[in-house]
Structure formats: structure tokens, C-alpha cells
Structure 1
Amino acid sequence: MSTGVDLSQFYETFFDEADELLADMESLLLELDLEAPDSDQLNAIFRAAHSIKGGASTFGCFGKLAETTHLLENLLDLVRNGEMSLRKDMIDLFLETKDVLTEQVSSYREGGDPDEDAYQRICEQLRQLALEQKGILSTADGSVDLAVVQQQTAQQAPLVAEPNTPTGTSTLHIALRAISKADQKVLLEEMELMGDVLKSNQSDDSLDIWLSSTVSSEDIQAVCCFVVNADQLTVQPVQNLPAGAALLTPPPQVASEVSPESMAPAVVAEKASGAPVKAKANDKAPAAKESSTIRVGVEKVDQIINLVGELVITQAMLVQTASTLDPVVHDRLLNGIEQFERNARDLQEAVMSIRMMPMDYVFSRFPRVVRESAARLDKQIKLVTKGQATELDKSLIERIIDPLTHLVRNSIDHGIETPEQRVAKGKDPEGVLTLSAQHQGGHIIIEVIDDGAGLNRDKILSKALANGLVANENISDDEVWQLIFAPGFSTADKVTEISGRGVGMDVVRRNIQSMGGHVQLYSRPAAGTTTRIVLPLTLAILDGMSVQVGQEVFILPLAHVTESMQPTPAQLKRVSETDRVMLVRGEYLPLISLREVFSVENGEVDETKAIAVILQAEDMRFALLVDHLIGQHQVVVKNLEANYRKIPGVSAATILGDGSVALIVDVFALQRLARDRAVASN
């Protein structure tokens, strides 16, 4: 009889939980010591597969996912119980299975069907490994003697619990009182998903279960309490089974699956969310303690951020209007607006913190990248991560993954030498690749550091001269390193699977600049290379300096402003009809007029009456001419491209206190835009 529960409402929660479990599984697999695997890690990996299989089976429409995880779970069970020795090729297969599972989850999430070829291939590989463990070899045509398989499987299926349970496994006595027959059936089937039900006793209103499992008593209580009250349940560890208890004999190696129709709505909800156990070692919270987190869609957080932004704009309007009032007459009103301003700022910071995610979200995917890339190149590389807890806005943390992946692969391919080369140089044969993240003011600093050969100045310079990128060899090392970011530049002698196609570093810099950041390179011969990425913590709010040109107001990102001054005639020089420079403490800086770049009417024409704002963008400094400086303040960033269209030289827009719109200047594009306009005018 159907319960009428619409399981589709739990799909998205299940998919999110499955993604988290698969990420945990990959991390734990990469940490395993082949010689002495940690039992907690093995149990956690097993529980991840078990939880995904249980959820997929409950829904009944994710068959490929359920079958793949079932085969993986069986193998993991053999490994954690010491019945199968762990090998490197097994880890590789488990990692490949994880990739297939990730693809299956993604396909089901999008309403499609997973790749059939990948499903058949990985399942066949898992079955072959299981047959190898049982000592059954496949025939020439790939078939096996099913009678032999069934015979050996039956021989291995124990009828009673062994006196000594495997490492990490314990026997629990679960006693349920004042419980209906229907609930007894539901919970008995649920316990079969959590381990091996060795024996059970049932009566009209009570149920006793003896369960061999790796889960804790708290986990058992957490599941049962969705059906019964806490006072109806006791869970205790036991050493021996009582005589005369009824014996359950489920099919060997196959956990009984719970049909949605037989489950109470609360249990269905719990199953669909990936219960009963999260795949994390020692992750056991008390049953009575409620979860301290909730899952909220990103679109809801973005909506709150937009509303808070509107609140901040309204607050700025009130402050501007109140500035004309007499403080003696309107004392209470002004005090209230001041309090409102403080509360709005606190609210803005609190809401922004919701979107912040730890860098571990990014760093956790690189152990796999380093492991596989190093293996392909026959290199020994140790990955070190620092500052995993450092937080960055979700919108940025997802966009930084691709640039970081390219930098990591570059260090593996071009930076760190082979063990033989390192030994010949007196180095440890194992290279070290370090990923670090730290906050610095309103920015986050992300570094990719390797202890490899360093950048080859002569090789880079020779290639740049051949391509016409530089005119002479007398440029500084820093200028030579920047040549790497030229479009299509590569010094690779041959194209490899890892890197060397010459289509990457310019894209890396362009992507980072699109996030309001910049990238720097440092290198020493034979000592290694450091690539430093500097990013704002968020793109939702910005510390800016408002400037005026004619009747227009523009916002300059404060992070790029170093100083401002009124130029004198002696400081201004013209090097061509279109190019001008400004002498600032012995350094000639390119001079750009904001009035000319954006064709602003009624702007200040006399350069000695304007204000020069000195801006720094990566390794480039230049002077920007504006009419007036208005002030410094935080602004709420509005996406101009989504609301209007893309404008060259403008990264976004904001709303000022008087309700007018101000454009936020793209500092990186200014010099290029000024040059293009000058060329077009000639």
C-alpha cells in the first residue's frame, strides 16, 4: 500500500549529500596508507558508499547509481574486514569508480540517464576484482562459472556471528518497546541497511535486534527516533547472542533494500537525505542534539544579499538627506539614522559571511590532480596545503578552481624535476608543491609554490625575442617573468597531457583580472617558483574612491589607489602626439585622462588644474586624471552587464546616496582602452 509520499521532493537533498560523500570518499582514498590502512578511514569510505547506495535504492529510479555503489561497497567491506589486501591499482579503480559515480549523480540531477558504456565498464572491473579475490578466474570470453560463484558465496555466508568481529565492527542489542507491527517491519528493514542483522525476537508490541555493524549506537538511535520516541528505545553493546533468538538469513553480501511504500514518511525523508551515516571518521553526534546547520540554496542567499544592498543604498540616501537638517532640532532623528547606519553595516557583514566558503573546498581536489599527474610523468611530488580554513566568497571560490588547476599542472610539468634530476642537483628526490591561502586586509592571497628548477630567464627571453615580444635583452627579471602571460607563449619543448600547449597563462591572468584580482610571479634558479594570486574577498561590496569628471561620478577600487596629487607643469611630459607621461618621484608614469577615455562633456581640460590619482594594477603603475576627489566609502556592486550591457573600461555599477548611478572603473582595462582610443583618433 502506497504511503502517498512524493519522494521527488527529496531528490535535490540526496544529490547534494551524495556529492559531499563522494568528495569525502576521494579525499580519504588518497590519504590511505597501502601498508597500514587506517581502519577509521576504511570504515568511513565504506559508509559513504553504503549511504549513497541506500538512498539511491530507496528512490527506486537511480538504478545505475545503486548498482555501482553496491559493487563498490562489497569490495570495500572485504578491505575493511581484512579479507582483501589493499593495492595501488585497487585505489586507482576506486577513484575511477568515484568519478563514474559523480557523473551518474550529475546525470540524474539533470534529469538524464548516466553513460551506459561507463557504467558497464566500471561495473565489470569491480566484478572482476571481486572474482579475483574469490579465486575465480574468468574464461577466455570473459564469462565465469556462476555455479562456482554461488557455491563459494554460500560457503562464505556465516549463519551466526563470529566470536571475534572484524576491526571497527561491534554487536549491538537494539530493544524497542510499545511498538506496532508495522513499525517493527520498517525498523527491522532499516537496521538491515545499517549492518548485518544476526538475530531478532518479535512479539505483538516489542522487537529485539542483534546487529553487527560499524555504526555507533548514537547513529542507531538517530534513525530509530524518526519512528519511535526515545523512551521506547535502548541500544547496548553485547558480547554474546542469547540462546533461542530467531535467526535472520538475508541473501549473502546483499543488504535488504527498503521499498518506499513500506517506509513511514519520516524514515523516507531521512533516507532521501543520505542517512543514516555521513562518511566521515569519528563523526558521531549525540542523537538528542539537533543539527547545527541547514542547507539553503545559493539563489536565496543572493536574494538576501540584494535586499541588504538595497537597504544600504536606502540608508545612504537617508544619511545624505539628514545632513541638511539642524542637529539641535532633529537630534533624535539623527541619532536614529546613525544607529540604523551601524545596524545596516553589521547586517551587511553578517549576510556576506553566509556566502563565504573555506579554501579547503578548492584545495581538496588537488591531491588527486597531483597524484595522477606525477604518476604520468614519473615524478615524486608531495602536496602541502596551508590555510584551508581561509574563507572566500562562493562566487569567486568556484571561478578560481580552473586557474589554480592550470598553475598546479604547470608546476608539476615544468617546475618540479624528475627524481634523478633532483638527486643530481643535491635535492631530495621528492619535490614539494605547496598551496597556501591567507587573508591580508580586504584581500585573500593564494600562492602556488614549488621547489623545482625555477624559471629559465634565457629560454623565456630567447623565445620572446623570436616572437617580437621584446626589443632588447636588458630588461629586469620581473619583466621577463611577465612575458609568460603573453597570449600563446610557451617554452615547452613538446606538448604533454599535463600542459605545454601555449594557451593557458594568458587565460589564467585574464580570468583572475575578471575577478578583480591580479597575479604575480617570483622565481629563483634551482630554488623554485611562486605564483601569487591576490583577490578581493567578495565582489558583492567594494571599498571605493568616488571621483568626479564633469557632472559624472565614477568609482575607483580603493585597493588599486596608492596616492593622489595635483600635477605641476614640470611633471607633465609628452612623448608622442598621443602618449603623455607624468614624473612622480623619479618615475615616469603613463598619463591617462578619464575625461578622454569616456568622452565626458564639460570635464577639466587644463591638466594642471585636475587631480592625478596614481593607480597600481599588477606590476603596472599609471596616473589617472580626474576633476575632483569626492571621498572613500563602501559601495554595493551591481552587475551592469546583466542589467544593461557590457561597457569597455567599466566593471560594474553602483547606486549612490542621492539615487544616481555611478560606474565602477575597470582599472586593468583603462590603459588598453586609452591606447585604443588614441590610435583610432589618428
Structure 2
Amino acid sequence: MTIDISQFVQAFLDESFEGLDLMEVELLREQALDAEQVNAIFRAAHSIKGSAGTFGFAAVSEFTHGAETLLDEVRDGKREMTAEIRGLMLEAVDRIREMLVAARDGSEHDPGRVAETAGRIEAMLASAHGRPGENPEAAASAASMPAAAPPAPQARASSPTPAGAWEIVFVPEAALLRSGNDPLRIFSWLAELGELTVHCETDALPALDSLAAEDCQLRWRLRLEGETDEAAIREAFEWVEDQCTLSVHPLAATSAPAITPPAAPETAAPETPAQPAAGAQPQTAPDGRPVAPNGAPVERRADAASIRVATEKVDTLVNMVGELVITQAMINTIGHSADELDARAVEELRHGLTLLERNTRELQEAVLSVRMLPINFVFSRFPRVVRDLSTTLGKKVNLRIIGEETELDKGLIEKLVDPLTHIVRNAIDHGIESPERRLAAGKPEAGTLVLRAGHQGGNIVIEISDDGGGLNRERILAKARAQGLAVPENPSDRDIWQLIFAPGFSTAETVTDVSGRGVGMDVVRRNIEAVNGRLDIESTAGQGTRITVRLPLTLAILDGMSVRVGEEVYILPLTAILESLQPTPDQLHSISGRGRVVRLRGDYIPLLPLHNIFNVPATHERPEDGIVVVVESAEDRAALFVDELIAQHQVVIKSLETNYRKVPGVSGATIMGDGRVAMILDVDSLTRLHGTVH
């Protein structure tokens, strides 16, 4: 039987990337690694190596074997986990990731970089450097040896049996499948070593009504022909060696041993025909990439189309669907007797509608929770970014991460990676000073970069702050004028900080690999605003800079208040509304430079007539005849003048840009219950838009 395993390649890639992330997190720990942490790194490398061989990624398997061998020596106490080995293992993680990304995307990786890192690993293995009690001079001499190609996975000290054959008897325990191990995966690995014939023995199977779906009650006798050795064969069973009885014998040396089966019920099922698995090889494209059953290379899933979801969330979702079905059935039953509805039936109908509304809302929340992921999916990559960049720039930077379990929509997670990475790189490059300058300024030698995430109202707030030198007000002004940017006559700090977001703006004196090309902060703001987010900057000279990103909790559903302006209906996010009122004439004033305002408890709040902003006819021209809705944005409060408050709704957000274009002051659209389309207002941008109109 030929096993087509290409359908499982995507799962292998997902698991491999998770393993690489785990290795990176452990290797980046500041403190010394304990035995369990070293074991975790080793197991991840071992799993990637074995799976890569199974799925036809020979180059990945061979390269990872060298890293695994080095980690094995550390695990066995033959070496210490030195800073040099940590750095080399991080480099190996990068190379493995590059190869897997290339396989996933159908692109090419750099074999020269892979060979260079493999050579350094081999040189390290050949040296005594890092081994307790060894001579460092001898280590240096050995490290200068020419790099050797990484050994194949089956290479071992024992001599192979030339053109020999091996008899393998594999009797797994019943619990083997429950531990996540799969015999077919082991057989596929063995098939890499030679020609494999598999015979499944079913005489120990119980009667059909006694079969347990999760128990492994089969035994296998295998014949492997090829130039391999016993150690390579046993390596394939390494993960299950404590859950099976295994015997490996060269056929030339001994006759086939009898199988000693585990205890089995007296009644056995009839024996089924043997299922040979010879030649279980993954299909590959000419470039070495696995191919799908139809022969096409495995393509990358568009925009990470799959997510892993906690079982509890799925269970909640299923329960909510069940409740919704029950409620619907109840209302249907009442509806069938509509001709003879009495007061009691009407009351039951209202009760059913209330339950339906509640269950629908809970179902929506459950569905949304399935899409929610912790922001640590983004934050977890920054320890490596900070380490590498600070080393390149000769700076010392301590990274603190707060609120990494804060959850937000998966769609937002995917769009945050690039903007946040650019902000972090800017903070290290431009914000945090060199150790010498920090000491001269009376600061600690190492700078501090803080990533913080949390909920605020209906938003996710992400802060990136540093204790560096802060933004240079005069330098930014001079650069802006030199580039011909429009600068206010007496600009506030906020006005000046906004200049940073101008396309092509940069205060860097020289262009480096890190920054200085003027491509970045304008793109960062554009990407954040594309998901209805907002970017704000606060900076104090000599003390540091804080950049705040505010994002909606989800991209799908919004709690809003519908308001009417003339014949048009608009939706205001409920989280932005502070209060609503019908102002009296003595609360309305005009202030020079600010226009009309509403005086509320001693504060003067700018009055924004929505009919003027959107150029639509209104029912009421005077604010005292209509309604004023006080809203709070990231910048300030504002009083929106509308004709009428309609009702509170939960609305589904539809993108305008996808079907039309971006409209100033509008974050999206929704379809109302009567079929009308209503615009969802962007409160943060309304103030700026009003200033332009005013």
C-alpha cells in the first residue's frame, strides 16, 4: 500500500513553526537553562527532524540532525549551554524556519546560509569548546577545522549491514494511540531507510462489540531491506520505546522471533488480510516540495486560514447553538397556533423572543471568542528582535512584556505584526541611547523597552514605551521645513509629533540596514488606521517616548446607537458615548477660534453638527430643537448635534473600502433590520473632519 501523506503537510508545517517558536523562547531566556528547558528544546528539534524526514523534507531533516546532536550533548552533560551555543542554536532556528517558509510558499531559500550554519555546528561538534573540563586551546584549534556536511539522519557509529535485511517485531501497548503517536508515521520513517514490507497481525483483536476505538490492539511484523543499522532502526521508535515491545534482528543472524502478544480477550476476531506498506514515500515536486494528491505543489494557505481553538470555546459554541435551536423550536410551535393566540400565548411568544435575543447574543459572543487569540502571538517574536537589533547596534536593552494574555481578533493579530515590529525597531535604533551616553546622562547602562496590552472600554490599547532620549522637537521641525512640509506657526508638541507620520520623513543622518530610509511610520499609521485603529505619540526630552495604538476589540460586530440626521441614519459606537441631552439656549455659546460649544458642568465641549459634516439636509437647524450626543475620542470630547436618537443595536460591520472607498469620518457600514444601509461613524476622526469643514 502506498501512503499519500501530502495531505498532512500543512499540519506538519504548523507544528514545526510552533516547535521553532518554543526553541526560540527557551533559548532567549536570560537565566541559565535547567534540564527540563534543555529537554524541551531538544524534543522540539527531534520532532522537527523526524517529521521532516517523514514528509519528504530531506534537507530540513539533515540540517536539524546536526543541531539535535549538539543539543543532545548539552542534555547529556557533555557540554555546557554557553552563550556561543545559544547563539548558534538561534541561528539554526532561523535556517530551519527559512527552509520551511520556502517550502510553504514555493520560493527558494539560501543554501549557502544553510551550509554555513551547518558547518559551524559541525565545527562545534568536533571541538571541545563548551565541554566541562576540556582545554579551550584545543577547542579553538578544532573549531578552525573545515566545515563538514551534516550527516544523514541514519548515520551512526555502528557499521551498517551491507545490502542486509532486518526483522522488526513491533507490539505497541493499548495506550499508544492515546499518547498521540501513530504507527504509520513510524513506518514512513523506516521506509526512508530502505525497502519496507509491513505485515499487520490481527489475531489479538477482540470481538467487534468489545473493540475500544482509542486502544491500539494490533501488532506488526516488518521486513526492512537496505544498507542501514540497528541504531537507525531503533531511532524511528524512540518516541514510543516505553510504550511497546520491540525486537530488531538481522535476518542473516537469526530466524524470525515469535511474537509475544499482550494479554488479550479469549475471543478473537477473524484475521484480516495483511496490509503491506512498502514504499510509503511522500510525493515530491521536482524542487523537493511535497505535492498534493493531484500532483500540484502544496500551496500556502491564504493568510493563515486555520487557527487552533481551545476545546472549551468550541464546547460553549456548540451549547449556544443547541439553546438557539430549542428557542427557535419553541417560537415555531407558538407561531403554528397564530390563528388562536390569546393573551397567554402572546406572553409566551414575547418570552420566547427574549430568549432568542439572549441566545443569539451569547452565540455571537461565543463565535467571536473562537476568533480571539492572545496578543502574545505578536509579542512573543520581540525578545528575538530586541536581542538581535541591540547586539547589532551595540546597545543594551531590557524588554518587559505586560498583558500578553490580552485577547483580540485574529484578523487584527495578523495586521499588527509589521507595524509593531517597525515601532520596536525605531525605539531601539532612535530612542534608546548607547551605554556610554546613558551613563553620561545618569541613566542605567541598559535601556528599558516596555510592551503593554490591555482593554480600555471597547478597545484594545497597546503601548510601546522606552526610557531613551525622547523625540527632538527642534530637529523634527528643522527637518520638516527642509522637506517642505506644512508646519503650523506655533505648533504644539502634538502637531510636531504628527510630522513623523509624513511620507518619506526621517531625521536619520545616515541610511543603515536598520532604518533611516524614510519608509515606515507613515505606512505604520496607514496600516493601523486600515483596521479602524488610532496611533498617538507622547514624548519627553531625556525621558523617553510612548506610542499608543488603540484598536477595536473585534472587526466583526459592534454595539452601537442609531441616530437620525434628516433622512439619514448613522451608527455611533456605544463605547464612545458618554451621555445625550437636549441643550438649553443658555448652554450654547460661540468662542473665538473654536466655533460653537456646549457648556456642560463647567466644561466647554465643541459642537459638531453632523448635517454640516456630511452635507445632508437636517430636520432641525437649531441644537436646542434636536439632540446632542456627547462622545469621547482618543483626543478629546465632542458634542454631536443630531435630529433624533433611534435605538441601541448590535450591528455587523461591513467594510466600505472593500466595495467602495474610504470615506472620511466613517469606519464602516451596516445593514439595518429594515434593509437600509447605515454608516458607522469614526468618532476619532470626526473632530479632525469638523475642523476642516469649520
CA distance in structure 2 between the partners assigned to 1:575 and 1:177 by the alignment: 85
Q: State the Cα distance separating 1:536 from its structure 2 match.
A: 2.2
Farther-moved stretch of structure 1 (611-620 vs 650-659): 611-620
Residue identity matched to 2:72: D
Which residue pairs with 1:51 in the alignment?
A: 47
Q: State the Cα distance separating 1:334 from its structure 2 match.
A: 0.7
**Alpha carbons of structure 1 residues 177 and 95: separation in structure 2 relative to 1, 3 Å:** closer
Residue 417 of structure 1 aligns to a residue whose secondary structure is: coil
| Equivalent pairs, count | 566
2:666 equivalent among 634, 650, 667: 650
Is 1:232 matched with 2:247? Answer: no
CA distance in structure 2 between the partners assigned to 1:192 and 1:32 by the alignment: 42
Q: State the Cα distance separating 1:480 from its structure 2 match.
A: 4.5
**Alpha carbons of structure 1 residues 113 and 428: separation in structure 2 relative to 1, 3 Å:** closer
Is 1:104 matched with 2:99? Answer: yes
1:92 equivalent among 84, 87, 90: 87
Matches within 5 A, 1:235-634: 261=278, 295=308, 330-461=346-477, 463=479, 469-473=486-490, 475=492, 477-566=493-582, 571=588, 573=590, 580-584=595-599, 591-601=607-617, 603-634=619-650
Q: State the Cα distance separating 1:428 from its structure 2 match.
A: 1.9
Whether contact under 8 Å (1:485, 1:509) holds in the other structure is: yes
CA distance in structure 2 between the partners assigned to 1:211 and 1:121 by the alignment: 26
Residue identity matched to 2:26: L
Percent of aligned pairs sharing the same letter = 46
Which residue pairs with 1:42 in the alignment?
A: 38
2:69 equivalent among 70, 74, 84: 74
Post-superposition CA distance 1:96-130 (Å, at most 9, x none): 33222222222222345544444444434444444
Whether contact under 8 Å (1:373, 1:412) holds in the other structure is: yes
Whether contact under 8 Å (1:546, 1:630) holds in the other structure is: yes
Q: State the Cα distance separating 1:55 from its structure 2 match.
A: 1.0
Which residue pairs with 2:78 in the alignment?
A: 83
Which residue pairs with 2:272 in the alignment?
A: none
Which residue pairs with 2:19 in the alignment?
A: 21
CA distance in structure 1 between the partners assigned to 2:400 and 2:236 by the alignment: 32
TM-score by length of 1: 0.69
**Alpha carbons of structure 1 residues 663 and 59: separation in structure 2 relative to 1, 3 Å:** same
**Alpha carbons of structure 1 residues 485 and 375: separation in structure 2 relative to 1, 3 Å:** same
Cα RMSD between the aligned structures?
Answer: 4.9
Whether contact under 8 Å (2:54, 2:188) holds in the other structure is: no
Q: State the Cα distance separating 1:331 from its structure 2 match.
A: 0.6
Is 1:11 matched with 2:48? Answer: no
CA distance in structure 2 between the partners assigned to 1:43 and 1:448 by the alignment: 34
Whether contact under 8 Å (1:518, 1:533) holds in the other structure is: yes
Residue identity matched to 1:80: R
Which residue pairs with 2:651 in the alignment?
A: 635
Q: State the Cα distance separating 1:675 from its structure 2 match.
A: 6.6
CA distance in structure 2 between the partners assigned to 1:651 and 1:186 by the alignment: 50
Post-superposition CA distance 1:491-550 (Å, at most 9, x none): 334334333444433333333233233233333443333222222221211121211122
Which residue pairs with 2:28 in the alignment?
A: 30
Q: State the Cα distance separating 1:573 from its structure 2 match.
A: 4.2
Whether contact under 8 Å (2:557, 2:650) holds in the other structure is: yes
Bigger relative CO (Cα 8 Å, ≥ 6 apart): 1
CA distance in structure 2 between the partners assigned to 1:568 and 1:326 by the alignment: 47
Residue identity matched to 1:76: L
Whether contact under 8 Å (1:177, 1:206) holds in the other structure is: no
CA distance in structure 2 between the partners assigned to 1:461 and 1:568 by the alignment: 44
CA distance in structure 1 between the partners assigned to 2:376 and 2:614 by the alignment: 42
Q: State the Cα distance separating 1:566 from its structure 2 match.
A: 4.2
Which residue pairs with 1:283 in the alignment?
A: none
Residue identity matched to 2:49: K
CA distance in structure 2 between the partners assigned to 1:639 and 1:590 by the alignment: 29
Q: State the Cα distance separating 1:555 from its structure 2 match.
A: 0.8
CA distance in structure 2 between the partners assigned to 1:184 and 1:362 by the alignment: 36
Post-superposition CA distance 1:191-224 (Å, at most 9, x none): 999xxxxxxxxxx9899x9999999999656799
CA distance in structure 1 between the partners assigned to 2:386 and 2:475 by the alignment: 26
Residue identity matched to 2:508: A
CA distance in structure 1 between the partners assigned to 2:533 and 2:383 by the alignment: 25
**Alpha carbons of structure 1 residues 363 and 223: separation in structure 2 relative to 1, 3 Å:** farther
**Alpha carbons of structure 1 residues 339 and 220: separation in structure 2 relative to 1, 3 Å:** farther
Residue identity matched to 1:57: G
Task: Name stretches of at least 5 consecutive residues in structure 1 with no aligned partner.
Answer: 160-173, 194-203, 226-230, 234-258, 266-271, 273-292
CA distance in structure 2 between the partners assigned to 1:521 and 1:185 by the alignment: 56
Residue 562 of structure 2 aligns to a residue whose secondary structure is: strand
Post-superposition CA distance 1:223-242 (Å, at most 9, x none): 999xxxxx939xxxxxxxxx
TM-score by length of 2: 0.68
Post-superposition CA distance 1:85-105 (Å, at most 9, x none): 544444333323322222222
Q: State the Cα distance separating 1:656 from its structure 2 match.
A: 2.2
**Alpha carbons of structure 1 residues 354 and 184: separation in structure 2 relative to 1, 3 Å:** closer
Q: State the Cα distance separating 1:64 from its structure 2 match.
A: 2.2
CA distance in structure 2 between the partners assigned to 1:661 and 1:121 by the alignment: 60
CA distance in structure 2 between the partners assigned to 1:496 and 1:5 by the alignment: 51
Residue 28 of structure 2 aligns to a residue whose secondary structure is: helix
Whether contact under 8 Å (1:465, 1:471) holds in the other structure is: no
Residue identity matched to 2:98: E
Residue 54 of structure 2 aligns to a residue whose secondary structure is: helix
Residue identity matched to 1:232: P
CA distance in structure 2 between the partners assigned to 1:184 and 1:664 by the alignment: 55
